[in-house]
Amino acid sequence: MEVLFVTDDSGQPYNINAVNLNTGETISHFKGGASSSKTLCQIKQEVLISALPKKAVLNVFEMNRRVQQPLKVAVPGVPNYLTSSPSGDYLAAAIGEKVFLWEVTDGDLLAILSRHYLDVTSLSFTSDSGFLISSGKDGMVAVWDVADVINTDHVQQKQPFLCWTDHILAVNCITCSTAGFGNSRIYTGSTDKTVKIYDIFLGSMLRSLVFDFEITAMCVDHAESMLFVGGANGCIGLFNLATSPEKHHDIMAASITENYQKSKGIDYFNAHSGSVSSLVCNCDASVIVSGSADCTVKTWNANMQYTKVLHFEGPVSNLLLTIPSSTLSSATSKSWFAFPKLSHAMSVNKSDEKSLQRCRLNAKFVASKQSTVCTKPFSPVILKNISRKQFSAVDDSRNKLQQLSNQVHVLQKENENLYNFVMDKVLPK
């Protein structure tokens, strides 16, 4: 069973509604205030988090407690966007033109990322939680290496792994690939009526698609075969990603622009009477769900024929489609996860245990990226488009990986010596 979590601007009669996607019936709800747009997320399938409108406060709901007052957690500013990593380890908030990154287990502020010169409008983690993508009203898209920014000295200025400035107006939404392609494809939708598709490890734009409306919401199916785009005019555009450009070998060129009309790959559907605020689809894209400023949520089948309409008191602000844990349906089960208070400043002194854990995490991410970069076959056309910056980044990653491997080897040796000592001297024979 897939569950759809819905919020609207009114917050009445409930802040968050949990709806069975198959039947359209409400299976649970959560009271307490309202949720700001683009701030609903879940962590470890145990808690739901959203931000109060125009306040520097987060609402934290435990999944198994329906009748409750949410936990109030203060943050450094009013969030424009809120997202959690797929691994459940990190929480990222866009506050003004900065991005704050916390560790969820203890609430430590790991990094404050600053590269945008206007407000950050969207955030998204890659499916392996290795990169955080940010976009802003300045039209910039920044790619942050999570392992790098959390292990960099807090005094140093954090630098993005990559930065793209192809959009000429605000970037309103970001979607990351969830399967295949090395988990490296990024989809960005903008007020300039374009969707641009990037590859992190190539460092370049793969395709640029032009639509007939300002893009306000977007999603892609897990197989990355279909792209669904919602617009400010209430329309939904459907694009088949398998459609090839006129010159197949130019798919990797950074200057390709595709101005498809309906007959050339983009189909348009009049979905809502107001702007499309949220757009999600299930794993196989058999069900697409759209939320709008016209106070309705509609579900669509694969042929873009709507099957259900849900009405709410105010404009729909958030949609979250997920497979719930058992705690949602069981009122007696107790959540094992306790959401911490979030730090407002970075801690100078880190404990040895935390440092070791982050070193291991860094090694894991670097090894993952190394295997993706080094084993992926490169054609001469692709190699030509890779910048020197990326090669230097690969070399730096190799050096970091070697250093971390040496540290792990030393720790393994010390652990072996300690084990032998205990067995020989401490435990009775």
CATH code, 279: 2.130.10.10
Verify that 8 and 98 share a domain, yes or no: yes
Verify that 83 and 159 share a domain, yes or no: yes
The residues with which 18 forms a beta bridge, in sequence order, are 5, 28
Per the structure, the complete domain to which residue 404 belongs is given by: 352-426
Q: What is the pLDDT of residue 93?
A: 97
Verify that 264 and 392 share a domain, yes or no: no
Does residue 344 belong to any structural domain of this protein?
no
- The single-letter DSSP state of residue 328 is T
Does residue 333 belong to any structural domain of this protein?
no
Question: If phi over 0 gives left and psi between -120 and 50 gives alpha, with beta otherwise, what is residue 45?
Answer: left
Instruction: Report residue 383 CA to chain centroid gap.
Output: 28
Does residue 202 belong to any structural domain of this protein?
yes
Name the one residue in this structure whose structure tokens are 């701030």. Answer: 39
Of 233, 154, 118, 199, give the one whose Cα is nearest residue 373: 199
Q: How far is Cα 89 from Cα 105, in angstroms, rounded to an integer?
A: 7
- The single-letter DSSP state of residue 258 is B
Does residue 52 belong to any structural domain of this protein?
yes
Verify that 317 and 356 share a domain, yes or no: no
Does residue 339 belong to any structural domain of this protein?
no
Q: What is the pLDDT of residue 90?
A: 95
Q: What is the pLDDT of residue 224?
A: 87
Helix 352-375, helix 388-421: angle, nearest 10: 130
Q: For residue 274, give the amino acid letter.
A: G
77 within 8 A of 312, measured Cβ to Cβ: no
Verify that 135 and 42 share a domain, yes or no: yes
Verify that 297 and 379 share a domain, yes or no: no
Does residue 265 belong to any structural domain of this protein?
yes
- Among residues 322, 343, 371, which one ends one of the domains? 322
Q: Order of strands, edge to edge, in the sheet holding 41-43?
A: 41-43, 47-51, 57-62, 71-74
Does residue 347 belong to any structural domain of this protein?
no
Tell me how far apart the terminal alpha carbons of the chain are, to the nearest angstrom: 55
Verify that 41 and 133 share a domain, yes or no: yes
- Strand duo 185-190 + 194-199: pairing: antiparallel
> How confident is the prediction along the chain (429 residues), in pLDDT tens digits per residue?
789 999 999 988 889 999 988 888 888 888 888 999 999 999 988 889 999 999 999 999 888 765 567 889 999 999 999 999 998 899 999 999 999 999 998 999 999 999 999 999 999 999 889 999 999 999 999 999 999 998 866 667 788 999 999 999 999 999 998 765 456 899 999 999 999 999 998 899 999 999 989 999 999 988 888 899 999 999 999 998 887 665 333 333 333 334 334 435 688 889 999 999 999 998 888 899 999 999 999 999 988 888 899 999 999 999 999 887 766 666 556 666 788 899 988 776 554 445 445 544 554 444 444 444 433 333 333 333 444 444 455 566 777 778 888 888 888 888 888 878 877 777 655
Residue 32: C-alpha distances to residues 13, 68, 156, 175, 291 (Å): 9, 8, 40, 29, 21
Domain count, the chain: 2
Verify that 235 and 103 share a domain, yes or no: yes
Verify that 186 and 99 share a domain, yes or no: yes
Query: Which ranges in 166-298 belong to alpha helices (H)?
Result: none
Verify that 393 and 300 share a domain, yes or no: no
3-class secondary-structure state, position 359 = helix
Q: Which tokens belong to 211?
A: 């639509």
Query: Which ranges in 51-158 belong to alpha helices (H)?
Result: 146-151
3-class secondary-structure state, position 220 = strand
Q: How far is Cα 109 from Cα 94, in angstroms, rounded to an integer?
A: 13
Residue 235: C-alpha distances to residues 208, 275, 304, 346 (Å): 19, 8, 12, 43
Verify that 294 and 394 share a domain, yes or no: no
Does residue 407 belong to any structural domain of this protein?
yes
Q: Which tokens belong to 256?
A: 């390709």
- Strand duo 288-292 + 296-300: pairing: antiparallel
Verify that 317 and 360 share a domain, yes or no: no
